[in-house]
Structure 1
Amino acid sequence: MINLFIANTDNSWFDFLASEGDLAEVNFWWPGESGFRALQPGELLVFRLKSPRNKIGGFGIFSSHSALPIQMAWETFGRANGVASLDGLLGAIARLRTNVSVVPSTDIGSTVLVEPVFLPEHLWLDLPESWSSSIQRGKLYSTENADGLQLWERLLDAARLSAVTNVAGFPSHEQARFGLPTLITPRLGQGAFRVAVTEAYGRQCAITGGKVLPALDAAHIKPYSEGGHHAKSNGILLRKDIHSVFDAGYVTIKDDLTFSVSKKVKEVFNNGEEYLRLHGRPVRPPKHKADWPDLDLLRWHNKDRYLG
């Protein structure tokens, strides 16, 4: 069984992203910061284009949902927010939230979708008969029911016919067409990785416990450019300055999850007391053990990046 959530979708958001070409991920944002619990990772959020279109225009694979400050949403996803600039994002939200002042620190709902599909107009789909024009936010469907299963199959057929079936998830989509619908493992992009790691660590620096969100970064243990993946087990949430010295090899995390600072900090810079005083401090891991740093990746960083 798989769930599909048909969400009312802004036409200008859809058109902007459809014109952007291949996208690994998008931010399907909501003007308020309310939660979204309808889907689990690997299920589908379906784009219902608003009036006068009233059609299904595509879908994305659900990765996560968070409340993010507008500034962070822009820094994380950029044009994948469906606008060309931070000012454009602020303006789009302000038009929908007329009762409050909208500033870069204002929280919005951020639903991260990976491997999105924007169907060409000739492949847009009719809405299920059970859809009502009075629905404000969206409606949940399940492949356990006839209308949900039909929606799933129609989406796969349209995606297969479109020019975007070369995205990584589609082999499993195609296999599912001839069997039971199954969850699709979402492949995280850079933005989805940042959000996932930020939430896994409870929005706190793993070393200092600092909670000032604009000062935090999701660091790769093994850089993506060197074969590391956008996976929570390859990430750790660090204060931005600690992230920089971690990438440069002046600090590391031992496989016993303690923070280690190289003597090179003092030798090279004749300084670094703010880091040296953290030497030996235990790392605060995520709540869920499945999200903890991969020990093999930590050993890679100790051996191949750390200056000792």
Structure 2
Amino acid sequence: MTAMFRVHEQWGRRSMAYWWVSQNQTFRQEREGGYLWAPKSGSGGVVFTHWSNMTLVQPGDVIFSYARQSIGAIGVASSAAYDAPQPAEFEGGWNPDGRRVDVVYKTLNPEVPLRTFVEDLVPLLPDRNSPITKQHTGVQGYLFAIPLKAGELICDRLEFVAPVEQLVAETLAQSIPDETTKEALIQARLGHGRWRRDILRYWSGRCAVTGLEVASLLRASHIKPWRASDNRERLDVFNGLLLGPAYDAAFDAGLITFEDDGSIAISPRLPPNQLLAAGISERARLSTISETHRAYLAYHRESVLRPA
């Protein structure tokens, strides 16, 4: 496995990545200052992966702060890496030519000792460039990419699942001024996150209308749109439908919606002669529906469905 587990697409399109930063010497300074910092190279110009990983961090990535054998904080990157000299508050003989990433930290109180979850964590870590050895000891280094499942496990053990995604959304909302870019980036970071997995689980991995079970073709679609929802609604499993491509596109575009009994309602903007071509049935209906779904669907019918 490489150090670039999920860092494989243009940065604006990839989903949220998880990072482990070892801050035994700098935890207080970096947490209070709201940043990560690492030199570009060591003595003699030697470049280390655990420093060059700084260039792979993107806004919305989640960072676990490790110091004194415990996770002491969770952070969310609010910037990509940029050139910056060694912080004045640092004590040490590092190369002053370095990189900085701005971070919004959430301090954990109490800190969570690594020993409480290390046995479950280590099997999920890579054989190379891992922050923890097979013998459960820390590796000398600074910033390490960790796989999705390892990041999820840590969030679970820290009892910090929904708050992490809320922290990501809030950090990006505050750090990106352009609304269109902000919404697209937040959805890219969280689109393959816990909410989508919760939607897949709720609908048993099948399209809510057709029963399609090919996961790569299924889309987790908000009923009340992301931009109109608060943070709780954005992560609410009942504010989502699992739909195949045609139904998802039409639902998001306001060309179809669903009534309280689950039956489809079609916008006049989608002519009957185009339904078959679009792969949409006028007799379609949701396989199940709850009272909470109905509240969100009422919003969709009133505010998203396109009139004539």
TM-score (norm 2): 0.43
